[in-house]
Amino acid sequence: MILAIDVYYIDDKAKSVGILFNGWQDETPFGIIADYRDNIAPYQSGEFYLRELPCIMSLLEKIDLSKVDIIVVDGHVYLDDGKIGLGGHLYQALNQSIPIIGIAKNPFFTNNNQVKEVFRGNSKHPLYITSVGIDAELAASNVRAMAGKHRMPTLLSFLDQQTKLFKSE
């Protein structure tokens, strides 16, 4: 099972959403999980994980992780040579037990050695793929194979829409 996660913020509140799907070419998820948190840390450039990781870990408490084969995050696994990003911190927080693929819409200017660019559809702009616990070429191939005609795979667009349907609970 594959789990893709995204987090959306309004002021000091966050909504985390996870979608569950079985294969890279799936067009719809078979499950959706959401979690809400208050008093979120402010954004810090280069330290994004400090804000997002607690939200993701709270969401993961609602899932049987023994059934998750891979996690996809909106962001980078590696920021540069020797510095890890959100995906790398998540991998460590999970005791390196589940491979992580980071999918970012924008490059991190110094992670050229770890990133694979994936062009999808007719887009002239790539997605930037980084990974840990799974070969980078395989991770890029999996993202390339995801359903959808556009730069952003259908399931990840759906995930983004779900996070933005924000309400307090």
Domain membership of residue 34 (yes or no) is yes
Residue range 92-140, pLDDT digits in tens: 999 999 999 999 998 876 666 788 999 998 999 999 999 999 999 999 9
**pLDDT (0 to 100) of residue 31:** 96
Q: Is residue 54 part of a domain?
A: yes
* Inside any domain, residue 100: yes
Question: What is the rounded average pLDDT of the residues 139-165?
Answer: 95
83 contacts 109 by C-beta, under 8 angstroms:
no
How many C-beta atoms surround the C-beta of residue 63 within 10 A?
17
Average pLDDT over residues 26-52: 86
At 74 the pLDDT is 93
- The CATH number given to whatever domain includes residue 44 is 3.30.2170.10
Tokens of 52: 């997002």
Q: Which domain holds residue 101?
A: 2-164
Q: In the chain, how many domains are there?
A: 1
Cβ contact 127:101 at 8 Å: no
pLDDT, one tens digit per residue, over 7-17 is 999 888 999 99
- Express as a percent the part of the chain with pLDDT over 90: 72
pLDDT of res. 169? 45
C-alpha 87 chain-centroid distance: 7
Backbone angles phi, psi at 43, to 5 degrees: -65, 135
Question: Is the residue at 22 inside a domain?
Answer: yes
Domain membership of residue 169 (yes or no) is no
Determine, yes or no, domain membership for 18.
yes
Assigned token pair, 134: 């799974």
* pTM for the predicted model, two decimal places: 0.92
Q: How confident is the model at residue 168 (pLDDT cuts 50, 70, 90)?
A: very low
Q: How remote is the C-alpha of 45 from its chain's centroid?
A: 18
Average pLDDT (152-162) is: 95
Average pLDDT over residues 35-41: 89
DSSP, collapsed to helix, strand or coil, labels residue 30 as coil
